[in-house]
Chain A
Amino acid sequence: MTQLIWNGLFVGSFYALVALGYSMVYGIIKLLNFAHGDLYMLGAFAGFAILGAVGGVSSSMALPVLLAVLVVTMAVTGLAGVALERIAYRPLRRAPRLSLLITAVGASFALEYGMRAAAGADPRVYPLRLGGSSLEVAGARLTVAQLVLVGVAVVLMIGLNLLVTRTREGRAMRAIALDPTTSSLMGIDVNAVISRTFFIGSALAGAAGVMAGAYYGKIDFLMGFLIGLKAFTAAVIGGIGNIPGTMLGGLVLGLLESFGTFWLGGEWRDVFAFGVLILFLTVRPTGLLGERVTERV
């Protein structure tokens, strides 16, 4: 039981990390960035490439190296996200919503199969594995690696929350989410803030990608597809556009999946997750913490 809860929280923290980027982008320009899951994939591959360049890593040095790689990867995927926004999304910001969604699908496709062309279709084995001892807490077996990864995720999420609620930059983001036109009249450089939002969201996804690569040990070019869907589900459960809500949603989804797998069997896990998504959209489309929005004409 506690094992199930812990597994759920662990997977949930990944979901939350990816979902945050989704949620921030959606909150600020109302775009579902389908390519977000692929930025996660990109992060995993960027980390893979960096680790390959560094060479062999002894297991005692695994953790510091991983953290260093994490930082570099976050910068890489962040820049990729900015480039994506600049090339594919910004020119269409005033276009009908359908065009933007289709462009996002195209971007996701281009990233997935571009990576396939670059790195091959076969799964790659991550050069760095977090092994380490495990300890028993209240009947659940947790490994040090898991604890570290959850710790990193929590630190990133707290950092993001502080950024959005306490800084000038965060205030600008929230202002744009409310009303981009008025924000620009108030002297906010809307394009720059949106770029930086993409940077932060993509960097978080990239971090999650590296962590997933190091934990699961295997990466492939389609790994972002499913997690993108799951992250969206998490964002919807928590209330899309709402940052604490998204974190909560990730954890809730992780827990639901963990218990769903236990009851129904692993092969139904994804069906269960999407079933939850559809249920939530039917019953409470604004999510657990989202406020009701009225569509303005």
Chain B
Amino acid sequence: MTRVPDTTPEGAPEDTVRSTAADTAESTGGSATAGAARAAAPDEATGEAVNETTNEAAGPARKTAEVRRRGAGRPPTRASRLLQNRWAGLAGLLVALLAPFVNATPYALSVMTSAAIFVMLAAGLNIVVGYCGLLDLGYVAFFAVGAYTSGVLATRLDLPLVATVPAVIVVTVVAGIVIGAPTLRLRSDYLAIVTLGFGEIIRITANNLDVTGGPSGIYGIPGLAGSPVAFYYLTVVVVALAVLGAARLGRSRIGRAWRFVREDEDAAEAMGVHTYRVKLAAYIAGAVWGGLAGVLFAAHLSAISPGSFTFLQSALVLMAVVLGGMGSIPGVVIGAIVISILPEILRDLADYRFFLFGVLLIAVMLLRPQGLWPARSKEVP
């Protein structure tokens, strides 16, 4: 299975920083909370500490559950050390870059490119769901907005695809504000259903408008690179940067704020986090990631139609994030690769595939809510 591209450029390095720094943070315990808002340099340590202290504040039942789930207090096993290795991410990127030398059939390249684009989508959704805890069920809408914006501009105005990227960013930001601004003030579950509706609105609109080509979509979108191999490498590099960027965002000041909001919105508000603005920022960041992935998608397939942007697609991205581990960059990358490669392997089970995905989603939430490769935390109860 050498054609499985592992595009994990980041994740491992931050984990090492996190584990050492978080150790020091533990000794200071809750006092880190107040400093967190202002802390600058080894930000991960204080960020995680905030995260964990608010966890404890959430009540004893919750606390024991967390402890049981995460198995804190056990010494790190060989496997978990391996996962924390700073070189794991680079090794993954290397595998992704070397994969075409092993198998460069057009089919394999296409599958790998799609998987890389899917990784980017998952990294973007991870900002919204994983970091900030906002359930977005219409994430594919931003993917569609990005793909259609670049597709329409490139074919109608004869622009090269790269030139449409600024427009894509502007349009996705606007879309993020339009949909996020009214709903982020409300309870989080309203957001889920509004985004679901928004995903449908975008799809139906693309289906009905003339400028988007109606049900048959847009053809002849120019590519970004000459050959499939070159495009694959370009995609890997772009996706690697996007994943890296998402990881850096997660460790920044606003990343800490996102996790604080996820763990306890009221406490975050009380500590001076402008929760509405912070949530909107997460939503917009997710939108931009999705839109840029859409540009790659349009370049990859050179034709887009409303059928590519159904709720199923949103659910699969969500599935990748949940399966891999919400908030965990390496987990999300692995999850996305698994979800995008699995259907290629399980072609025989096509009828049961999505049924199994649904069951898997429930099972993960019931049995292993932290995902396959959870975000690391150094909580000591």
Contacts and interface: CB of A to CB of B under 8 A. Distances in A.
Interface of A: 30-32, 34, 87-88, 91-92, 94-99, 101-103, 105-114, 116-117, 225-226, 229, 232-233, 236, 267-268, 270-271, 274-275, 277-278, 281-282, 285, 295, 297
A281 B194 contact: yes
B186 A98 contact: no
Contacts, number: 129
Contacts of B198: 274, 278
Contact of A102 (B135, B183, B194, B354): B135
Q: Which of B61, B198, B311, B357 has the largest count of A CB atoms less than 10 A from its CB?
A: B311
Interface of B: 61-62, 65, 129, 133, 135, 137, 179, 182-183, 186-190, 192-194, 196-198, 200-201, 204-205, 207-208, 266, 311, 315, 318, 322, 326, 351-355, 357-362, 365-366, 369
Main secondary structure of the interface of B (DSSP, over half): helix
Nearest to B353: A113
Contact of B362 (A106, A225, A271): A106
A34 B192 CA distance: 10
B196 A229 contact: yes
Contacts of A275: 201
Contact of A97 (B189, B351, B355, B359): B189
Given A102-B322, A267-B208, A107 B358 contact: yes
Main secondary structure of the interface of A (DSSP, over half): helix
B354 A113 contact: yes
Contact of B369 (A88, A95, A101, A285): A95
B266 A297 contact: yes
A101 B315 CA distance: 12
A113 B357 CA distance: 9
A92 B366 contact: yes
A106 B355 contact: no
Contacts of A267: 204, 207-208
A18 to B, nearest CB: 14
Given A232-B193, A281-B182, A98 B135 contact: yes
A32 B193 contact: yes
Nearest to B366: A91
A106 B358 CA distance: 4
B234 to A, nearest CB: 33
A229 B137 CA distance: 12
Contact of A274 (B186, B200, B351): B200
Contact of A270 (B182, B200, B322, B365): B200
Nearest to A267: B208
Contact of B197 (A87, A98, A229): A229
